[in-house]
Amino acid sequence: MAEERITKTEAASQVRQMGRMMASLYYHMSCQLIEAVGAEKAKQIIQRAIEALGNERGAEQKEKVVAAGYAYVPENYGKIPDLPSLGWDVQPVQDGENATHLQIHYCPFAEVWQQKDFAEFGRLYCFIDQAKYRGFHPDSQLVTLKNVLEGDEFCEMVCRKAK
């Protein structure tokens, strides 16, 4: 049987579709949680869940990076991708602080949460990035410089040494 191939554009479209579906799931689960326990309690539960998921993913990333032979330093988190390389529009910042300095010009999650007027609770999910870096290396601190869910044109982040 011949191998079926799709274009990179179609693959990115498929990843974005899945991203939008996952963002919608997060939205509906959060709404049910808010209805069940109230907004403040729901926020606390979501924050704990995001922290736990981020820590888990960061620890997994540490194993992958170290197994690949990279030095165990915060700057090497991204040496082994932990997200799909398609679907999000991510660019390194030219003349940025270090190799972790990135801008995200499209995120399928943010697209859904903006459409659903859910930026406040959607933004809670974004803190997974900080949790992933903490789970990867306790001396790291991922700093969000800009976020579309806070009204910025794009998201921007960089990893710095923890204070």
- CATH number of the domain bearing residue 32: 3.30.1380
Which of 40-54, 70-84, 116-130, 140-154 has the lowest average pLDDT? 70-84
> Does residue 78 form part of some domain?
yes
Rounded mean pLDDT, 24-53: 98
Whether residue 2 has pLDDT greater than 80: no
Q: What is the mean pLDDT of the chain?
A: 94
The count of structural domains within the chain is: 1
pLDDT value at residue 84: 86
Whether residue 163 has pLDDT greater than 80: no
> Does residue 2 form part of some domain?
no
Whether residue 140 has pLDDT greater than 90: no
Whether residue 94 has pLDDT greater than 80: yes
> Does residue 3 form part of some domain?
no
pLDDT value at residue 1: 67
> Does residue 1 form part of some domain?
no
Q: Cite the DSSP H helix spans in 38-161.
A: 39-67, 108-115, 119-126, 128-136
Which residue range(s) make up the domain with 91? 8-161
pLDDT in tens, 97-118: 888 899 999 999 999 999 999 9
**Residue 18 belongs to what H/E stretch?**
helix 8-37
Task: List, in order, residues 6 or more apart from 44 with CB less than 8 Å away.
Answer: none
